[in-house]
């Protein structure tokens, strides 16, 4: 999933899922200590905003914690090692007793990895959001989505109900525990903050001259994996943000992004918060496509 998600240009509302090898499911890297420190600060200062769980989430979350405690040292020994009940993070120096219940198991699971974690629970009417450790939200809050079904979670996404609702419900129901899938979602942000539950104020206007420095490419590497015992589906989100001028390495990258924005319906531009600066952004992209 390393290719930019708008490669080739154009726009289409689709799931866009690809198979992910077990060793590539999670992606710890050299930023792990800094990003986990950022999570810790949010969990101290704003815990109820970044972690919530329904009572029914307890057993699936415990299953998830068991899975992570086995997976991380097995697939990422440079970053994690297991010492009995302890899981040790080599980069941050943290040691977690994964058998203890001092924290909710989903809360502890979220402190182990750079990804945000959302647990979707099966029910009579489909899957609902049972809990989340969400330290890098992109203009949404857990309390707005907790306990809601897939269609309710995505009710603000233009075209979701008509195009994706049924395929997504069917996919969740039919997903097998041995299969992991992923996709990369993209957006344009006017702030570099990972934690953006709401739009944040800007102090400088975006122009065709400064768009490459003032705007940011926000990528979300997302994966889906079903837990074997509970049939809960774990949705992971790994967020990265970089200035557009650095993120778009080639003329083709800039041209592809311009093509995708041109092809995007107006309501999707508004949903993705591109509309307020679409004009100067496109002018900058088209100039870069010619000169970069």
Cβ–Cβ under 8 Å, residues 135 and 41: no
Using one digit for the tens of pLDDT, what is the confidence trace for 186-207?
999 999 999 999 887 777 899 9
Domain ranges within the chain, ordered by starting residue: 18-291
pTM of the model: 0.94
Using CA atoms, how far residue 23 sits from 26, 80, 90, in Å, is 7, 14, 18
Rounded CA separation 140/84 (Å): 38
Task: Please identify every stretch of the chain with a pLDDT value under 70, giving residue numbers as ranges.
Answer: 1-2, 292
Q: At what angle do helices 251-263 and 278-291 cross, to 10 degrees?
A: 150
DSSP SS3 for 130 = strand
Which parts of 51-91 fold into alpha helices (H)?
58-75
């Amino acid at each position: 999933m390393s290719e930019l998600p708008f490669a080739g240009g154009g726009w289409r509302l689709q799931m866009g899922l690809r198979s992910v090898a077990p060793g590539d499911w999670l992606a710890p890297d050299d930023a792990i200590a800094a990003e986990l420190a950022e999570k810790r600060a949010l969990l101290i200062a704003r815990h109820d905003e970044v972690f919530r769980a329904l009572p029914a989430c307890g057993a699936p979350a415990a299953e998830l914690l068991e899975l992570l405690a086995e997976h991380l040292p097995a697939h990422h020994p440079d970053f994690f090692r297991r010492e009995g009940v302890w899981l040790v993070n080599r980069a941050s120096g943290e040691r977690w007793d994964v058998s203890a219940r001092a924290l909710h198991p989903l809360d502890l699971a979220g402190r182990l990895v750079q990804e945000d974690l959302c647990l979707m629970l099966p029910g009579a009417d489909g899957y609902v959001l049972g809990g989340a450790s969400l330290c890098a939200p992109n203009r949404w809050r857990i309390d707005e989505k907790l306990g809601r079904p897939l269609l309710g979670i995505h009710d603000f996404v233009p075209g979701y109900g008509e195009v994706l609702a049924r395929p997504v419900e069917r996919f969740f129901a039919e997903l097998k525990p041995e299969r992991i899938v992923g996709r990369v979602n993209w957006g344009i942000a006017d702030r570099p903050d990972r934690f953006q539950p709401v739009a944040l104020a800007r102090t400088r206007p975006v122009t065709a001259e400064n768009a490459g420095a003032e705007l940011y490419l926000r990528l979300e590497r997302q994966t889906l994996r079903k837990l074997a015992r509970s049939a809960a589906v774990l949705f992971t989100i790994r967020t990265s943000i970089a200035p557009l001028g650095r993120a778009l390495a080639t003329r083709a990258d800039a041209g592809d992004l311009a093509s995708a924005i041109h092809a995007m319906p107006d309501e999707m531009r508004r949903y993705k918060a591109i509309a307020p600066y679409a004009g100067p952004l496109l002018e900058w992209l088209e100039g870069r496509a010619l000169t970069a």
